[in-house]
């Protein structure tokens, strides 16, 4: 059993049987932490039947009403994708992603996101991801069943955990949590509005999305987030003092 706090997060699952099959795949590879975001039907008899003995994983599953709630307390967040490249996120091969996840889980829980069976993950679901995890498939037919995808990823996690001890991470502080990053983005948006630094593109909605994307790629730790928020607070204080002097 892998001794790492790695969280499998299923978002908007529509088939209870798939949830049960995921639980079985996880238990096969020693994973225990299952989070379900807005499942259509759970608990359900079909989930229990498909779990085939992984009832304990199902019983311990945490049902959440948002991706943010499912990520609470996590550091590294990786989201599954069928895309070979992405303009906003780094894309990791499943084996490389598993090695990163195992290494990061030594300091803080890791979350791996899987989308709905038909639609996958939305852009909003990806907002807290540090990178994307891709399972190589045939170009002719790339579609994987949800449980199959979790099985492949879980196998790679178990394999990575049994390899030679991974090299130590260079960082001395854990990654900032999704909640801490959201507070940073909210703070940043307030300051941008205060200084009238706005998106000048036609749509007017890309600026904060692009900023969020490159800061997610930077994989900020807690201290780095605190530094940035300290800078933002200093900007706000300077503006307040300037306003008082001119009043």
d(CA 70, CA 139): 32
**pLDDT higher than threshold 70 for residue 167:** no
* pLDDT of the residue at 32: 96
**pLDDT higher than threshold 70 for residue 170:** no
Q: Are 214 and 184 in contact (CB under 8 A)?
A: no
* pLDDT of the residue at 245: 76
15-64, pLDDT tens digit by residue? 999 999 999 999 999 999 999 999 999 999 999 999 999 999 999 999 99
Distances (CA, A) of 171 to 162, 184, 221: 23, 20, 8
| Three-class secondary structure assignment of 151-220 | HHHHHHHHHHHCCCCCCCCCCCCCECCHHHHHHHHHHHHHHHHHCCCCCCCCCCCHHHHHHHHHHHHHCC
Question: What do you get for the CA distance between the two ends of the chain, in Å?
Answer: 66
CATH number of the domain located at residue range(s) 6-161 in this protein: 3.40.1280.10
**pLDDT higher than threshold 50 for residue 1:** no
Ranges of each domain in the chain: 6-161, 178-245
Residue 41 backbone phi and psi in degrees, to 5: -140, 110
49-105, pLDDT tens digit by residue? 999 999 999 999 999 999 999 999 999 999 998 766 676 889 999 999 999 999 999
Mark out the alpha helices in the chain (DSSP H runs): 16-28, 45-51, 55-59, 67-70, 94-104, 146-161, 178-194, 206-218, 222-245
Q: Are 70 and 177 in contact (CB under 8 A)?
A: no
Q: Are 36 and 62 in contact (CB under 8 A)?
A: yes
d(CA 158, CA 136): 18
Three-class secondary structure of residue 242 per DSSP: helix
Under the banding of pLDDT at 50, 70 and 90, the label for residue 166 is: low
Q: What is the pTM of this model?
A: 0.87
* pLDDT of the residue at 169: 63
**Mean pLDDT, the chain, integer:** 91
132-155, pLDDT tens digit by residue? 999 998 988 888 899 999 999 999
Question: Domain 178-245 belongs to what architecture?
Answer: Orthogonal Bundle (1.10)
């Amino acid at each position: 059993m892998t001794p790492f706090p790695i969280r499998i997060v299923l978002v908007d699952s529509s088939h209870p049987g798939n949830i049960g099959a995921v639980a079985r795949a996880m238990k096969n590879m020693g994973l225990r932490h299952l989070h379900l975001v807005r499942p259509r039907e759970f608990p359900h008899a079909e989930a229990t039947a498909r779990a085939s003995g992984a009832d304990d994983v199902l019983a311990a599953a945490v049902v959440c009403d948002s991706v943010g709630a499912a990520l609470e307390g996590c550091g590294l967040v990786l989201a599954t994708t069928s895309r070979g490249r992405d303009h906003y996120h780094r894309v990791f091969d499943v084996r490389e992603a598993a090695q990163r996840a195992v290494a990061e889980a030594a300091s803080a829980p890791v979350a791996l996101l899987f989308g709905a069976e038909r639609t996958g993950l939305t852009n909003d679901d990806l907002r807290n991801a540090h990178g994307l995890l891709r399972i190589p498939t045939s170009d002719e037919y790339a579609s994987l069943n949800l449980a199959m995808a979790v099985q492949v990823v879980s196998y790679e996690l178990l394999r990575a955990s049994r390899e030679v001890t991974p090299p130590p991470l260079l960082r001395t502080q854990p990654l900032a949590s999704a909640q801490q990053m959201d507070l940073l983005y909210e703070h940043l948006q307030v300051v941008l509005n205060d200084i009238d630094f706005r998106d000048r593109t036609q749509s007017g909605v890309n600026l904060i999305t692009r900023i969020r994307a490159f800061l997610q790629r930077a994989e900020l730790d807690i201290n780095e987030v605190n530094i940035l928020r300290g800078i933002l607070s200093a900007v706000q204080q300077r503006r307040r003092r300037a306003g008082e002097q001119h009043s």
